[in-house]
Structures are given as C-alpha cells and as structure tokens.
Amino acid sequence: MSKNHITRLHWKLFFPLVGLLWLVIGITIPYFVAHEKHRLSYNLGNRLINVNNTVIEAYNKGADLQKTVDFIKLFTYQTTLDPLHLTVYDNNGNVIADNQEPTILIHDNKGKIIQAFRQSWNNRDTTYLHDMELEGAKFMVSSGTSSDGMIHTFAALPYKGEVKEFLSVDSMVWVVVLALGVLSFILAYFGSKAICRNVYALRDFAEMISSNNLPDDIEAWHFSKDELGEVSKRLLLLYREKIKAEQEKYAHERQIGINVSHELNTPVAIIKGYLDTILMDNDIPEEQKRIFITRARDNTDRLAELINDLNSVMRLQENKTSIPCRQFDFHNLAVRLADDVKHNHMAGNMDIVIDIPDNCLVYGNENLIVNALLNLIKNSAQHSSGSIISIRYLSNENGYSSFSFSDNGIGVDDQHLDRLFDLFYRVDSGRTRKSGGSGLGLSLVSRIFIAMNGSITAQNADKGGLEFIFTIPDDKKDDSPEL
C-alpha cells in the first residue's frame, strides 16, 4: 500500500475526528460548569433563606432579636456567610436589629421602600431570594416577613471574597479540559492511523480477490492485530472455502450431467434391443412380437418418467421438493426387471435369481427403484467377475421391508466399504478401474433409497462377493426425506 495514500486518508479522518471530540467536550464541559455554578448558588441561597427563617422563628418565640442576630454572626464567622449583612426592621420601617456589617438600607432618598423590597414587605410569612444592586455592588439578597407582618428581615451576601470563591469553578476543571483535549488529539491521531492501515489492507485484499491472486498460505497475509484484522482473515477463509466449494460443485455437476446422460441411455438401449429383435427376426411369432412391442412401449414410458424422476432426485438433494411415490408390488417389479435384463444382455453372462414372495408391497417410486437396481446390476456385471446375481427378500421390521442384492464375485477390500456410495469413488483393487465406470452409479443408488425414506449399506457376503442390504418403507412415512 502507498504511504502517501495512508497519510492523506489519515488526515481526512484525523481532523473530523478531533473536531467531533472537541464538539463533545465543548458541549459537555460548559454544561457541567453551569450546572455546578447553579448548584452552588442554590445551596448558598438556601443558607441565606435559613438565616431569615431563624430570625423569624426567634421573633415568634419572643426572643431578643439583636442577640439572635449577634449569635448568627458568631455562628457564620469564617464561613462562606462571613460577610453576611443582616438587618431586621419593624412594621414602621425602623431598624430593630443589625449586625456589624453595613445596614441593608431598604428606603430611597425620599424615604420610600425600594421597589426590589416592596414585594416582600407587603406579603406575610413569605421568603424571597433575588440578586440586586446595593451601594453600587451586586448582592444575593434574601428577604422574609413574619406571619403577623410586624417584622421584616433582610440577609445579603456580596459577590466578592469568600462568596465569589465559593461560587467559582475549581481550576482543576480547566486542567481536566486541557488534558482531555491533549488526549483526544493523541487518540484521534493513532486511531485514525490504525483505521487507515486496516482500510488499505482491506482494499489490497479486495484487489487480490478480484485478480484471484490470493496467497496459498493464509498465515502469509499480514492481518492487523485487531478486530478488523480478524474480520479480514475470516473473510479470506470464507472466500477460499466458497471458491473451493464452487469448483467442486461445478466438477460434480458436470460429471453428474455426463452420467445422467448415460443413465438415460439404459431404457433407450432396452427399447432398441426389442425393436432390433423384431426387425431382424422375420419369423418371430406375433404373440412374442406383441410382448416385445409392449415392453418397448413400457420402457419408453419409463424413459419419460425417468427424466422427471431424476430431476426430482436432483431437486431433493437441495431439499426443494419431494419425489412422487406410491405403493406397488416389489416382486412383480423384480421379475419384470430380470426378464428385461436377460433379453438385453445387460448383465453379461451373469444369471439373475429372484427370491421375493408374491404380493410384497412397498411404498416408493417404482421407476427410480428400477434405475437403482439397474445400476447395481451393471456394477456387478462390470466389476464382480461373478456368475450369479441374487435379489432376495430378508425381513420386515418397523414398517420397512429389507432386501438383499448380492453377487458371487470377488467382492472388495473392507477399507472401501464405507466409501462405496461417495460421489465418483472408485475401487482401485478388486473391482478394478480398468472396467470403467464413473463412480456415480452407487452414489445415485444411495440417494434414491434415502430419498424414499429407505436406506442402503454394503458388505462382503459370507460366501464371497459383494452384498447390498437396502430397505424400503411399506407405506408412506410422515418424516421428510433428507439428502
């Protein structure tokens, strides 16, 4: 990344960030200073009001008001109220008690009560607090009147000396403000610098993604040691995994497409076999010809249905739909399939033995099961080197019928059994790769049975050869198939 680019973006972020921090400081600090001044002023005003209330309470008890005023002066000595001016008037405007500070004069030069004192003079049992000018100086003044209106007390504090210091904000506040300002500069500088580095690291990361030039070793990429670096690393991992998954998916889908075409050729080959037999044998009996034409027509119908069913299986793999199923006789299906295979030599020189009781009802998709069994037959014919294929009924448990499909061939090594149904898996020994095959047939077989809520497993038979045990439900199951 370019150092100049980092510097330019750094200052673009730095100044707005500092401005924002100072804006916050500029709003909060004056607010708290004003709030603190108001609190101090409120407390001081309450103390002045309490002074007047003390005098009025002493009057109500018949106490000597001058002694009361002297006691208050003694009590407030060397406190914030030390410069207290306290004067008590009677109802005629005569001073009846006063402290050592200058008297609070409530009359003007014409002997009339000053407007600022008139409200408290006329209202009884009420205490007032306000600021006013007295003798050319600003005072905080509290005035009160007894309930009978016979005395009027006035307490005042000048805004100077102890009072001014009491109401002033501690100078440490400004030290804190200065410290916050310096700290905001430092945080803004290094914070914006770190963000810039991460931003440009993400930009380089995006450029590498767009050019598909990502490092093979994730640890070789220099991620920042913070949350943004962790996010970048995670994004890189996810992107690598996504690309790998998409490549594998593309390869699988391409191979599946090739093999699906091969699967569609199976019924086509059966149809062609019957039709070739009819065309090449002029002496074929009419009854036999009718049977062949009927079977060719049945396989034509199965071909059309197979296309739809294969599409259903592919959609099932993405959990988007379910395949159409119905109840049918598995015995009839197996016998018909064996006859088709025999006439078309799909099992080579291998004989097919069916051992399934009549009226063996199962619930599934007939065409897909035929397709699965054909894949198993072709697998045995191509790889087993055996002479017999056997399809047998085993048992019925918990609403599922179990069947065995086996051959008397060479089987496979046990290490391959768990992977026989993996996509494109081929066995390197035993059932050799030289005989061909895409590695998709058994995978498709597994998906067909699972899609119908059944199952299939593979094992080596006791007497040699490979045996597949598959189950098919007897009736519709409520649970949805999972692929």
For residue 482, tell me if it sits in a domain. no
SS3 content of the chain, % helix, strand, coil (to 5): 55, 15, 30
Interatomic CA distance for residues 327 and 68, integer angstroms:
112
Residues 290 and 163 in one domain: no
Residues 144 and 270 in one domain: no
Residues 438 and 315 in one domain: yes
For residue 229, tell me if it sits in a domain. no
Note the pTM of the prediction, 2 decimals: 0.42
pLDDT for position 396: 93
For residue 75, what are the domain limits? 3-167
Two structure tokens written together for 106: 């409530």
Interatomic CA distance for residues 193 and 195, integer angstroms:
5
For the chain, the domain total comes to 2
For residue 256, tell me if it sits in a domain. no
Residue that terminates a domain, selected from 167, 187, 213 = 167
One digit per residue, pLDDT tens: the chain, 483 residues?
444 555 666 667 777 777 777 777 778 777 777 777 778 788 888 888 888 889 889 999 999 999 998 888 888 877 777 788 899 999 888 999 998 888 888 887 787 887 777 777 776 655 667 777 777 778 888 888 888 888 888 988 888 766 666 666 666 666 777 787 788 778 777 777 666 766 666 676 667 666 766 666 656 666 666 666 677 677 777 777 777 777 777 776 676 666 566 667 777 888 888 888 888 888 888 888 888 888 888 888 867 766 665 565 565 565 445 678 899 999 999 999 999 998 888 888 899 999 999 999 999 999 889 989 998 998 899 888 889 999 999 999 999 999 999 999 988 888 888 888 876 566 754 444 444 444 557 877 888 898 888 999 999 988 889 999 999 999 877 654 444
Interatomic CA distance for residues 239 and 115, integer angstroms:
83
What order of strands is seen across the sheet that includes strand 137-145? 95-98, 85-90, 151-158, 137-145, 127-134
- Domain of 450, CATH number, reads 3.30.565.10
Residues 161 and 270 in one domain: no
At residue 51's C-alpha, the angle toward residues 124 and 101, to 5°, is 110
Residue holding tokens 């995006």?
A: 206
Residues 156 and 275 in one domain: no
pLDDT for position 430: 40
Residue holding tokens 């399809």?
A: 391
